[in-house]
């Protein structure tokens, strides 16, 4: 296993279009997280899954955003009716459930540009 994988690496879309990103976590990790990172800022938590259950969503996740993890393995993040403000790097991370002192591993991200 080579780590957390995200596809595509880059996506350019026109305003108003829908986009979908995919994240494949480390295989034995049952927790999966989505973050958004805009220029000049650190990553901001969006949502996380434990297995297939979406357990928490940030207020940053507007109703145009939806995330799924249907079989508890890979996850998708969809943005509907994209806006220029959605332009950002979308990061995925995964971790074991285990004791509190575990760590999350990040993928390389999908950079979204809305034109």
Partner 1 sequence: AQSVSQHNHHVILSEAASLELGCNYSYGGTVNLFWYVQYPGQHLQLLLKYFSGDPLVKGIKGFEAEFIKSKFSFNLRKPSVQWSDTAEYFCAVNAGTNAGKSTFGDGTTLTVKP
Distance CA 63, CA 14 (A): 19
| Residue from the set 57, 68, 74, 106 that interacts with partner 1 by CB under 8 A | 106
Task: Name the nearest CA neighbour of 64 among 82, 39, 49, 47.
Answer: 82
Task: Name the nearest CA neighbour of 85 among 47, 23, 36, 51.
Answer: 36
- The SS3 assignment for 82 reads coil
Kindly state whether residue 61 participates in binding partner 1, applying the rule CB under 8 A.
no
Kindly state whether residue 77 participates in binding partner 1, applying the rule CB under 8 A.
no
Number of residues located near partner 1, criterion CB under 8 A: 28
Kindly state whether residue 107 participates in binding partner 1, applying the rule CB under 8 A.
yes
Kindly state whether residue 40 participates in binding partner 1, applying the rule CB under 8 A.
yes
Closest to partner 1 by CB, 53 or 100: 100
| Residue 30, token pair as written in the block | 């049952």
Kindly state whether residue 109 participates in binding partner 1, applying the rule CB under 8 A.
yes
Q: What is the CA radius of gyration of the chain?
A: 13
Binding residues for partner 1, per CB under 8 A?
Answer: 3-4, 31, 33, 40-45, 48, 56, 91, 93-96, 98, 100-109
């Amino acid at each position: 296993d080579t780590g957390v994988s995200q596809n595509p690496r880059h996506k350019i879309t026109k305003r108003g279009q829908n986009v979908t990103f995919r994240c494949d976590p480390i295989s034995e990790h049952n927790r999966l997280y989505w973050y958004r990172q805009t220029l000049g800022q650190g990553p901001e938590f969006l949502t996380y899954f434990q297995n297939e259950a979406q357990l928490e969503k940030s207020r940053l996740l507007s109703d145009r955003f939806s995330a799924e993890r249907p079989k508890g393995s890979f996850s998708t993040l969809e943005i509907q009716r994209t806006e220029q403000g959605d332009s950002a790097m979308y990061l995925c991370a995964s971790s074991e459930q285990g004791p509190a002192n575990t760590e999350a591993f990040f993928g390389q991200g999908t950079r979204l540009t809305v034109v």
